[in-house]
Amino acid sequence: MDLSQFMPKDLVYPKAAVSLTEEEKKDYADKIARVLKEQNAAVIAHYYCNDDVQALAESTGGFIGDSLEMAKWGKRSSYDKLIVCGVRFMGETAKILSPEKTILMSTLSAECSLDLGCPAKEFGEFCDQHPDRTVVVYANTSAAVKARADWVVTSSIAVELVEYLHSRGEKIIWAPDRHLGSYIERITGADMLRWQAHCIVHDEFKAQALEKLIRMYPDAAVLVHPESPASVVHMATVVGSTSQLLKAAGTLPHKQLIVATDSGIFYKLQQACPDKELIIAPTQGEGATCKSCAHCPWMAMNGLKEIYEALTDTANTAKHEVMVDEDIRVKALTSLNRLLEFSDKLNQKKQFQ
Ligand code: 13P
Ligand code: SF4
């Protein structure tokens, strides 16, 4: 079976959030802050969101993080309502973990190409053909795919989890990201049957052009998200999730950093290392289509106007509120809880080392 066949062909990218003047941004940020208080609500944003959305999360006491941290923060927070700024799987994850909370998104059409490239029915049939394998799926999947999995992982913990399963002699089905899957396989040596979807942002980073850039900046460290092609990962000084890259940026001695991940991360990178030169890795060069230009078109749908509307447009709740079928939610919760427990144990272990 060709496991890449489910990637949608000829994707039409959505319209980005409405662009606002500085004055309008301030006006929306003030209005949103008031509404959040009235509704006992908070903003949770992913590092790939636009700067103004991340600034809103900061100024209103919300949260910015990688996909694992977003899930954890949403679960332990005491707010009645969370407005998840990111893509739909992040909103679904919040709902699966916190069914008692109202989970809103500025739009429910914020897709992820990995999620689109792994339809639940076909994935379930594939798993049924390999009943001897443990099913591990990346968080960037629908609730229905998570419900079919034994484990959910994020990029911050995928290597450790597969290492653990491999040490127990388990053979694995991995989905959906082909690059992250091959990276984990290379590091762990685990027996993995890998689904072949890809992230349309990270897939565009180009090795040849990166090589040229490294020659121009020979003293720079290269930070790479593992959703990037293997040829790009090979040139990395550090490979890691968004949070891990941010941490590395702050601690590495290098004064120049070449960054191969979504450009939304520059908002926090600039805060983490204001004295360093930040250079985006090339998405242009041989074979480039440059559809995404290092910024996820679905993350870019999240904007201040859209967030305000989601919080106030009560006549159109269905356009914004994340709902997950209860049967699917309960099944997906089992595999997500395994992730959270594994992550907690790993953190405890690291503290004692
Ligand atoms: P992180 O888990 O590193 O945040 O990446 C998830 C992702 O791909 C968001 O688009
Ligand atoms: Fe999905 Fe890639 Fe966008 Fe992340 S950056 S949401 S993996 S398409």
d(CA 221, CA 199): 23
Residue with tokens 């290392």: 273
Ligand 2 lined by 262 (C-beta under 6 Å) = yes
Tens digits of residue pLDDT in 319-336: 999 999 999 999 999 999
The answer for 86, left when phi > 0, alpha when psi is -120 to 50, beta otherwise, is left
Q: In angstroms, how far is the first alpha carbon of the chain from the final one?
A: 44
Ligand 2 lined by 114 (C-beta under 6 Å) = yes
At 287 the pLDDT is 52
The closest residue, in CA terms, to atom 10 on ligand 1 is 48
13 contacts: CB under 8 Å, gap ≥ 6? 291, 292, 297
CB atoms within 10 A of CB 238: 16
Pocket perturbation via mutation, ligand 1, pick of 154, 161, 201, 203 by most ligand atoms within 8 A of CB: 154
At 12 the pLDDT is 85
Whether 307 and 83 have beta carbons less than 8 Å apart is answered as yes
Tens digits of residue pLDDT in 221-238: 999 999 999 999 999 999
Please, what is the average pLDDT of the chain? Answer: 94
Work out which ligand 2 atom sits closest to the CA atom of 199: 2
Tens digits of residue pLDDT in 154-194: 999 999 999 999 999 999 999 999 999 999 999 999 999 99
The closest residue, in CA terms, to atom 6 on ligand 2 is 112
Q: What does the block give as tokens for 85?
A: 């700024």
Work out which ligand 1 atom sits closest to the CA atom of 241: 3
pTM attached to this predicted model? 0.94
The closest residue, in CA terms, to atom 6 on ligand 1 is 67
Q: What does the block give as tokens for 318?
A: 């269905």
DSSP string, 146-207: HHH-SEEE-TTTHHHHHHHHHHTT--EEEESBHHHHHHHHHHH---EEE--B--TTGGG--H
CB atoms within 10 A of CB 98: 17
Q: Which residues line ligand 1 (CB under 6 A)?
A: 46, 48, 66-67, 140, 154-156, 227, 241-242
**Nearest-CA neighbor of 11 among 203, 291, 264, 290?**
291
User: 1 or 311: which carries more pLDDT confidence?
Assistant: 311
187 contacts: CB under 8 Å, gap ≥ 6? 159, 163
Domains in the chain, start-ordered, CATH in brackets? 3-113+299-325 (3.40.50.10800), 117-199+331-346 (3.40.50.10800), 202-280 (3.40.50.10800)
At 292 the pLDDT is 57
